[in-house]
Chain A
Amino acid sequence: MISFVHPALIMMLGALLIPFLRGKTKALYMVILPVISLNNLLFIGDGSYFEVRFLDLPLTLLYMDKMSFVFGLIFHIITIAGAIYSLQNKDNVQHVFAFFYAGAVQGVIFAGDMLSLFLFWETLTVTAAVIIWCNRTKEARGAGFRYILVHAAGGLCLLLGIVLRVQTTGDLSFGEIGLFPEGHDLYLSSVLIFIGFGVNAAWPFLHAWVVDAYPAASPTGTIFLAAFTTKSAVYVLARAFPGTEALILIGAVMAVFTLFYAVIENNLRRILAYALINQVGFMMVAIGIGTPMALSGATAHAFSHILYKGLLFMSIGAVIHVTGKTKATDLGGLYHAMPWTFAFCCIGALAMSAPLTCGFVSKSLIVSAAAYAEKPVIWAILLFSSSGVFLVAGLKVIYFAFFGKKETSPLPQGEAPLNMRLAMAFIAFFCIAVGVFPDKLYNLLPYDVSDYHLYTGAHVVLQLQLLLFTGLAFMLFIRFKLYPAPINAINLDVDVFYRKAGRFFAWSMDKILNGLNNSFNQLIHIGAAKTAARFFANAPMHLALTLPISKDNKILLKKRFKAETSAIGLSIAMATLFLTAFIVLFIKITNT
């Protein structure tokens, strides 16, 4: 007897009630809904459940093991925090779709077959786009459409891969796929599935949607967006493509180039979005290394990353909520007015990699896994990236939001609403708790890491050296005005290709097709048609005048035609003549 329901069900169905509730009841309901869902999750033991047949295909709607549990758990935690954080938001559409989105991601994580995986995967895309649109700005409208287009392309790629694979193997179950599977000719389908997942994992050249869409959503919507889509892609890649070497290169590129962008970016949430890609790069490297320790590291880092990136997005979201500003050039000096938000932002920044925080617990696993796998270059890149992400998402964001000098008019003052602060405190608690009790997280991981010694003296000291001297460099660069100052400008990223290409396409189509249209209009409509019309309008007269009649009669006939008093019969006779000619022509043409 199964005593639980599918993890996606409670939040997706429960969301439908939200518009009917008001005030405190609604607030309470929105917080309790994910808690009930979490409670349900804890009842599910390892194994496969809800195995049904659909169109003669065997589906496994719920597959639970250690890895899926960790992802299911952290997605619930961030949903609870996101719900608390968005309580002051009155937009029911966003609330409902946030819970649809949260339910859909549970569906992706627990899908045991590729069909239900794909259906929930596409639900993610649609619900996320609606959440982006809920910010109701021109920017959000465009970003939402671009989000849908990019993910629809990725989704089609995935679908094609799945169909090809099922056709060859007859197996719909979702498990390890690998880029070079043996036995069958599965190369194409594997690559298609790989790329389909890669779009959601924000791989280089497929990444621009993250920095385009996440900063365009509302401060509350971004909390959900930043947690679910990329990290569910990390999960499916860890499941289907562990040890795929290409991922090491992909991840290393992600972990480096994003930092240079974040250094010069002006929009604080866009900086965080670049840092998000950077950290997903860490997870890609870990999946690519593919040792048990690395895969546990990827899982742990997804867990930590959702926490501290959520906290950073929440604190900057609170700044936006209070001041209405999001650019470094418009902000500064807020630590006085927003001490709580400032403190939570600092915890979020430290939690990326400082000892006694969650980031140290998880990132160390990946860096050590790279070292144990004897990959010195990758190890050096990860170290570089640890320093860099602390620089951009920690020091830079904190400095320009809470210190620095504001150049524009005074900002609206005040602290974030209580519910926002509570949500931040909730996540900050987890950031530190995981750091202080790392074994609690390590015990949940898919592969045993109990023999890993996290808190050695050397490890703590060397990590602090890395971070503190990064801080020293930042301080000196700011002091001597060497830091690339925030400016009101945008930085081109690869989305220029489809944003401008789309416009160029529209422009060229406009010029070419409308040009053709115009010239044909001139030639056919205005030119030929008018001539023909002129001829046919006076055709009866012209023809009648060819009759062998006297000159006087011809003049009379002309006058009658001009005065439109000529015999109707004559016109009908002409029309009949033309029709007959047409019919004869038609029969002749069809017979030959």
Chain B
Amino acid sequence: MNTQQTEQRKLLFLLFGVILAVILILELFVEKHPAFKVEYWFGFNALYGFLAAAVLMFGGRYILRPLVKRKEDFYND
């Protein structure tokens, strides 16, 4: 990877970070209509989305895969 691509990549990550920050801050300016108490917490959806993805990826990697992984020719031996 050349330096120009590295620079581009850095810029993209920076942009993504800015978008994340903006979307978090915007929560302060909208009027919420929560059905449940947790929705009053600032950044609940952000945290929940992050944790959900993390649980899935760790769960898949450390729990499900060791249980169900088989060789590709498992069914045609």
Co-assembled chains A and B: yes
Closest chain B CB from A510 CB (angstroms): 15
A371 in contact (CB, < 8 A): yes
For the residues of A in contact with B, the DSSP-based class is: helix
B36 and A379 form a contact (CB under 8 A):
yes
Taking CB atoms, residues of chain A closer than 8 Å to B63 are: 260
A470 in contact (CB, < 8 A): yes
Taking CB atoms, residues of chain B closer than 8 Å to A89 are: none
B50 and A472 form a contact (CB under 8 A):
yes
Closest chain B CB from A590 CB (angstroms): 55
Assign chain B's interface to a size class: 35 or more
A465 and B46 form a contact (CB under 8 A):
yes
In the complex, identify which listed stretch (A192-200, A307-315, A491-499) lies at the interface while the others stay far away. Answer: A491-499
A484 and B60 form a contact (CB under 8 A):
yes
Q: Mark B32-60, 1 if CB is under 8 A from A, else 0.
A: 11011001000111111111111011111
If A484-B57, A484-B65, A490-B72 touch, whether A466 touches B33 (CB-CB below 8 Å) is no
B24 in contact (CB, < 8 A): yes
Instruction: Tell me which of B33, B43, B49, B72 contacts A488 (CB under 8 A).
Output: B72
A250 in contact (CB, < 8 A): no
B23 and A461 form a contact (CB under 8 A):
yes
Q: Tally chain A residues at the interface, Cβ within 8 Å.
A: 49
Q: How far is the CA of A237 from the CA of B56 in the complex (A)?
A: 29
* Number of A-B contacts defined by CB within 8 Å: 148
Closest chain B CB from A483 CB (angstroms): 6
Q: How far is the CA of A472 from the CA of B32 in the complex (A)?
A: 24
Closest chain B CB from A268 CB (angstroms): 15
Taking CB atoms, residues of chain A closer than 8 Å to B71 are: 489-490
Taking CB atoms, residues of chain B closer than 8 Å to A153 are: none
Q: How far is the CA of A389 from the CA of B64 in the complex (A)?
A: 17
Residue of A nearest to B32 (CB): A458
A462 in contact (CB, < 8 A): yes
Name the residue in A462, A464, A468 with the highest tally of chain B Cβ atoms < 10 Å from its Cβ.
A462
Instruction: Tell me which of A259, A461, A469, A482 contacts B50 (CB under 8 A).
Output: A469
Taking CB atoms, residues of chain B closer than 8 Å to A464 are: 23
A516 in contact (CB, < 8 A): no
Instruction: Tell me which of B54, B67, B68, B75 contacts A499 (CB under 8 A).
Output: B75
Q: How far is the CA of A463 from the CA of B48 in the complex (A)?
A: 11
Q: How far is the CA of A456 from the CA of B39 in the complex (A)?
A: 15
B30 and A458 form a contact (CB under 8 A):
yes
B45 and A466 form a contact (CB under 8 A):
yes
B31 and A457 form a contact (CB under 8 A):
yes
B24 and A465 form a contact (CB under 8 A):
yes
Taking CB atoms, residues of chain A closer than 8 Å to B53 are: 387-388, 391, 469-470, 473-474, 477
A473 and B54 form a contact (CB under 8 A):
yes
Closest chain B CB from A585 CB (angstroms): 54
Instruction: Tell me which of B20, B33, B69, B76 contacts A472 (CB under 8 A).
Output: B20
Instruction: Tell me which of B20, B32, B68 contacts A491 (CB under 8 A).
Output: B68
Chain A residues 438-495 with CB under 8 Å of chain B are 456-458, 461-475, 477, 482-484, 487-493
Q: Mark A387-402, 1 if CB is under 8 A from B, else 0.
A: 1100110000000000
8 contacts between A and B (CB under 8 A): A458-B32, A461-B27, A465-B43, A466-B46, A472-B20, A483-B61, A491-B68, A491-B70
Q: Given A260-B64, A475-B16, A492-B70, 6 other A-B contacts at CB below 8 A?
A: A263-B57, A264-B61, A388-B52, A457-B26, A482-B61, A487-B69
Query: 8 nearest interchain CB pairs?
Result: A263-B60, A371-B35, A473-B53, A457-B30, A484-B61, A466-B49, A387-B52, A469-B49
